[in-house]
Amino acid sequence: MSNSSLFSTFQLGTLELRNRTVMAPLTRSRATPDGVPTELMEIYYAQRAGAGLIISEGVVVSPQGVAYPRVPGLYNDEQIAAWRRVTGAVHGQGGKIFAQLWHVGRQSHSSVQPDGLPPFAPSPVRIEGYQYYRKPDRLPYETPRQLSREGIRKVIEQYAQAAARAVDAGFDGVEIHAANGYLIDQFLNSGSNQRWDEYGGSPANRARFLHELLDAVGTRVPPSLVGVRLSPSSTWMDAFDEDKTALHSHVVASLNRHGLAYLHLVEPEIAGSITADVAADAVPTEKLAALFHGPVIVTGEHNLASAQQRIEDGVADLVGFGRTFIANPDLPERLRTGAPLNPPEKRTFYAGGAEGYITYPSLTEGARWAELRSAIEAGTLSAEDLLAELSARNPVELARSGGLHSLHQLRELVTSQTTASRT
Ligand SMILES: Cc1cc2nc3c(=O)[nH]c(=O)nc-3n(C[C@H](O)[C@H](O)[C@H](O)COP(=O)(O)O)c2cc1C
């Protein structure tokens, strides 16, 4: 294996990463309604600790920064204590984890704002062409409240505090979510930023919020432990700019002054969380990566061959995987050995609960279930007895010992046998 393989180690500042695969940030809605990480999350992240680096799901910096239910936060002590268990579980498996710091800006809704008023954004420009989804309703987005200068200072301070709490909670660093049409991206794009003050107008002015935020975060956490995520080509959630290439060339080049841990670029094939057509004015990842002087992560629609190519071409140092990491807790091992991949199930992405979250099998769990299944088919093991035995165990403990997948499969098997015997 050459030095530049996806499976070689990588020195990210002071952190040695065990390989160059990154678990991309993935919102999974498994925290408590108050934004406190749960035991399920501890298991989920520990299962995926084979990544060189895990970037957590978006973690909101304040109650105003949230759009969806059961998203975790980093704005109070209870959340810090719970995150400590998650980061401890990842470190226990030899993994590394950054917290992705998030504020959704105008993608929020008055129904989830603490004061019941429309959310905050750079300008009072609402999102067109998309709807706010809150089960079971689809609602029009609202015209947001414009952040005052004082409001901007407050939000920046919330990011800085959240970064300090992230380190306190045991994270190895933080990623600033400046992608996908959320608050920072709303400042960057001219469509959502129509301010006349020093935060609006030229690309340099629109990037001021991001730079001031990075300066503030940098006073609490060493900049060498801070990454930035951008989605330069995405127009998802009405992220419009008349010249994305000029804007992002400026942003990326100007990020060099911070001495960041890395730049994380979403590939042009991605619109938020799905694959989409590449726009005619997409900004080539190669072009932006070349402007950045530190490590680069690229994410979007990658498989082993394309990831390896990005590294060999010198475009990226690390490659992120989103949906494939949801479905394959031991993704790096599967890629390295050429093992087949489990397909992701969209139905359970945000569904809550263990299913489709911690029930995807690792290779060893898959093999164990295959053995049990053969024994059941050979008649040497009773499916009903085994089901009764596994069902009696605590599901979280069962997940820890790697048996939850078998329980899940067993339930489906027994249900299908029962249905078959009835028909
Ligand atoms: C269920 C789901 C949740 C996501 N949540 C986030 C998030 O919290 N923060 C973020 O920056 N991107 C998020 N994304 C985007 C992914 O990080 C990634 O960019 C995208 O899935 C493309 O990578 P892939 O083709 O490897 O899946 C999410 C994607 C999915 C599928």
At residue 342, the pLDDT reads 97
Q: How far is the CA of 294 from the centre of ligand 1 (A)?
A: 23
Q: Is the pLDDT reported for residue 1 higher than 50?
A: no
**Ligand 1 center to residue 64 CA distance, Å?**
22
Given a cut of 90, whether residue 4 has pLDDT beyond it is no
Average pLDDT over every residue of 270-296: 95
* In 136-246, beta strands by DSSP E: 137-140, 145-146, 173-177, 226-230
Q: How high is the pLDDT of residue 135?
A: 85
Catalytic (active site) residue 182: yes
Q: How far from the centroid of its chain's Cα atoms is residue 311's Cα?
A: 21
Residues with CB under 6 A from ligand 1: 24-27, 57-58, 100, 177, 179-180, 229, 266, 270, 273, 299-302, 321-324, 349
In whole numbers, what is the pLDDT of the chain averaged over residues? Answer: 96
Residue with the smallest CA separation from ligand 1 atom 2 is 26
Q: Which fold has domain 10-348?
A: TIM Barrel (3.20.20)
Distance 28 CA to ligand 1 centre (A): 10
pLDDT band (50, 70, 90) for residue 2: very low
Q: Which ligand 1 atom sits closest to the C-alpha of 302?
A: 26
Q: Where in the chain is the domain with CATH 3.20.20.70?
A: 10-348
User: Of the residues 182, 199, 350, 357, which is catalytic?
Assistant: 182
**Each residue's pLDDT tens digit, 324-352:** 999 999 999 999 999 999 999 999 999 99
Contacts of 186 (CB under 8 A, 6+ apart): 105, 106, 121, 122, 192, 193, 239
Average pLDDT for residues 93-117, to the nearest whole number? 98
* The pLDDT value given to residue 418: 80
Confidence check: pLDDT of 383 > 90: yes
pLDDT for res 419: 78
Which residues touch 344 (CB under 8 Å, ≥6 apart)? 323, 324, 326, 327
Ligand 1 pocket: which of 6, 23, 27, 321 to mutate (most atoms within 8 A of CB): 27
Distance CA 334, CA 325 (A): 11
Best mutation site among 26, 59, 61, 347 for ligand 1 pocket (most ligand atoms within 8 Å of CB) = 26
